[in-house]
Amino acid sequence: MNILFFGDIVGKIGRDVFFAELPRLKRKFSPDLIIVNGENSANGRGITSKIYHHFLDEGVHCITSGNHVFDNKEILPHLRNCPALIRPINYPEVTPGIRIFTTLLGGTKVAVVSVMGQVFMPPIDNPFHALETLLKNDLQTFPVIIVDFHAEATSEKLAFGLHFAGRVSAVIGTHTHVQTADAEILNSHTGYITDVGMSGAKHAILGMEPSAVLRRFLTSLPEKLSPPEEDTQGILDYVFMEISSAGQASSIQAFHEIVDLEFYVVK
């Protein structure tokens, strides 16, 4: 099966870049499963029900998330009706939202989960223990398991990938918005990359308007961070994976593309 996984979609420019390029990538890769991290898609923080349905209307199958998934409160009453949107499995059991996305591809059971790291991140349950529990219970009969590991520290991400190598089909790092040059197959089985990157404005800092970020660094004062309202170019980061029906990843390729936005009509 062919799988496309897109890094954090940041704001309207990130959505514009993604939606503009998705038809081309569908023709090129013929994906059976399209996954995006959508936790920054609503003005850089959170997601809305309208954006959720736009993703699905354009052919996205699963939307992963992380520490910003609940930042836009509009989504909260809609979570029960958003089965393709998953929140990290290591939030407390009482936290709203769906933990596992499941589907059948050619008769093969496929699961996608989000897991959040602990290092330099908001308080959360241990990610290693959370996935171990899930593998022994809910995911026991799923040969294909794709994990979005939403974390800050590269050491924690690699440790997580090595710990679960051979037991899950892929560990794809998100959150830092900068693509790393280490896509590989771990233990001849698990597709891995420390961070897939983002979809967002190129002339920005991690997809956010630079002046506010610079003021925060220069003054140490709090600043509200938002994506720029316009840009001439965008970044599109993603990985393409081939995974067998037995759950073994045979290839993983990372792509970092610069998209000229002036050629597209922004809706």
Kind and range of the H or E run holding 8: strand 8-9
What is the pairing mode between strands 33-37 and 62-64? Answer: parallel
The closest of 153, 204, 203, 202 to 180, measured between CA atoms, is 153
Tokens 């037991």 sit on residue:
167
Angle between helices 154-163 and 127-136 (to 10 degrees): 20
68 is catalytic: yes
Question: 3-class SS at 115?
Answer: strand
| Distance separating alpha carbons of residues 251 and 256, to the nearest angstrom | 17
The closest of 139, 190, 194, 133 to 165, measured between CA atoms, is 190
Q: What angle do CA 83, 89, 90 make, to 5 degrees?
A: 155
| Distance separating alpha carbons of residues 65 and 89, to the nearest angstrom | 10
- From 53, 54, 61, 68, active-site residue: 68
8 Å CB contact between 183 and 254: yes
Q: Which residues are catalytic?
A: 68
